[in-house]
Amino acid sequence: MHYASIVMLIVEAFSLFTQQSLPACKPVLTPEWVVEIVERYDIGCVPEPFRIDKVPKYMKAPIYIYYQLENYYQNHRRYVKSRSDKQLLHGQNEHGISSCQPVEVNNDRPIIPCGLIAWSLFNDTFTFIRNRAELKVNRKNIAWKSDREHKFGKNVYPFNFQNGTLIGGGKLNPTIPLSDQEDLIVWMRTSALPSFRKLYGRIEKDLDVDDVVVVHLMNNYNTYSFGGKKKLVLSTTSWLGGKNDFLGLAYVFIGSSSVTIAVVFTLLHLLSPRH
Ligand SMILES: *[C@@H]1O[C@H](CO)[C@@H](O)[C@H](O)[C@H]1NC(C)=O
Ligand SMILES: *[C@@H]1O[C@H](CO)[C@@H](O)[C@H](O)[C@H]1NC(C)=O
């Protein structure tokens, strides 16, 4: 085979891949035993509770609750840089916060945590009711352990946060150190894709088929201004095994094809070395 035709093949495979029409690349992302309920909740005004009509299948605990945002560019260059990792870990005194523009000070005092990402913290809340009894939601251990231990300080407390005239999102309890502000930690692990899910909590009771779950929500977070969508997801898989595998698959595909290409070219080279 000719180099050129191999390259053509690769290019072809690649364009098929980017169009997502490559047959070999269609693994079953949702195995049958994964049950997932997705409800969009931001259409119209939704102050009243909405109901998940019927649980389609028995769902074994833990049931993960995610909020899903769409058309939300957490990967925008200015947004994603607007944070201070040093401040998050060490607090205000040790290091500069100029990277946090345009949300670094308010009334001449530094903001902790500073930056656009923290300032735009998601602030919708959900409660779940089944048969008139509240289903408890465990909101602990929703953030990565490594983030809690190594990226957010145990002795760093929110200060002067959301204290300006323009409120960007959720507030933080100033008596809880950043390492325990799990909603913030989850939010600040920014998504590379404009549609993403973030873990909100876990329901630690099984849901039976045909159960009716009523969701009371506070629809606080403003996505209307940029045409975003908000959805609530109940799923029996954790995030890593969840549905949004595209990026992971892409990396694996590109990685393994690079290896294959390398092997092919090495073989070609060995078979007919240039003189
Ligand atoms: C919050 O703002 C008010 C006035 O806008 C100010 O008096 C107060 O000190 C600020 N809080 C912090 C923690 O800086
Ligand atoms: C929630 O965030 C929005 C901005 O998206 C803000 O206008 C609102 O005041 C916040 N509400 C609460 C209760 O934090």
Query: Reduced to 3 states, what is the DSSP secondary structure of residue 239?
Result: helix
**27 CA to middle of ligand 2, Å?**
40
Residue 70 has pLDDT above 70, yes or no: yes
pTM for the model stands at 0.76
**79 CA to middle of ligand 2, Å?**
18
Contact 237, 34 (CB under 8 A): yes
Residue 275 has pLDDT above 80, yes or no: no
**117 CA to middle of ligand 2, Å?**
14
- Summarised one tens digit per residue, pLDDT across range 186-244 is 999 999 899 999 999 999 999 999 899 999 888 899 988 888 999 999 998 765 544 45
Contact 52, 59 (CB under 8 A): no
Contact 57, 209 (CB under 8 A): yes
38 vs 61, 107, 220, 257, CA distance in Å?
Answer: 17, 42, 19, 34
pLDDT bucket at 47, cuts 50 / 70 / 90: low
pLDDT bucket at 170, cuts 50 / 70 / 90: very high
**143 CA to middle of ligand 1, Å?**
29
Residue 249 has pLDDT above 80, yes or no: no
Contact 97, 119 (CB under 8 A): no
Residue bearing tokens 């251990």: 141
Residue 116 has pLDDT above 70, yes or no: yes
Ligand 1 atom at minimal distance to the Cα of residue 159: 13
Q: What is the DSSP letter of 34?
A: -
Chain CA centroid to CA 131, Å: 31
Residue bearing tokens 């890593």: 240
109 ligand 1 Cβ < 6 A: yes
Residue 271 has pLDDT above 60, yes or no: yes
- Kindly report the backbone phi and psi dihedral angles of residue 33, in degrees, each rounded to the nearest multiple of 5, phi listed first: -80, -5
Alpha helices of the chain — where are they, by DSSP H?
3-18, 77-81, 85-90, 116-119, 145-150, 182-188, 246-271
32 or 180, higher pLDDT: 180
Ligand 1 atom at minimal distance to the Cα of residue 174: 13
- pLDDT in the model for residue 243: 46
Query: Cis (ω within 30 of 0) for the bond into 110?
Result: no
- Rounded to an integer, the average pLDDT of 97-107 is 89
- pLDDT in the model for residue 44: 64
pLDDT bucket at 129, cuts 50 / 70 / 90: very high
171 ligand 2 Cβ < 6 A: yes
- Summarised one tens digit per residue, pLDDT across range 252-266 is 888 999 999 999 999
Question: CA-CA distance, 151 to 179, in Å (whole number)?
Answer: 8
Atom 12 of ligand 2, residue of closest alpha carbon: 170
Atom 14 of ligand 1, residue of closest alpha carbon: 160
Q: Tell me the Cα Rg of the chain.
A: 23
Looking at every residue in the chain, the average pLDDT score rounds to 84
- pLDDT in the model for residue 31: 46
| Ligand number, closest to the Cα atom of 157 | 1
107 ligand 1 Cβ < 6 A: yes
Ligand 1 atom at minimal distance to the Cα of residue 163: 1
- Summarised one tens digit per residue, pLDDT across range 5-43 is 555 545 454 444 444 444 443 344 444 567 889 989 888
170 ligand 2 Cβ < 6 A: yes
58 or 22, higher pLDDT: 58
Question: CA-CA distance, 215 to 229, in Å (whole number)?
Answer: 18
Question: CA-CA distance, 121 to 225, in Å (whole number)?
Answer: 16
Ligand 2 atom at minimal distance to the Cα of residue 124: 1
- What amino acid is encoded at 99 in this protein? S
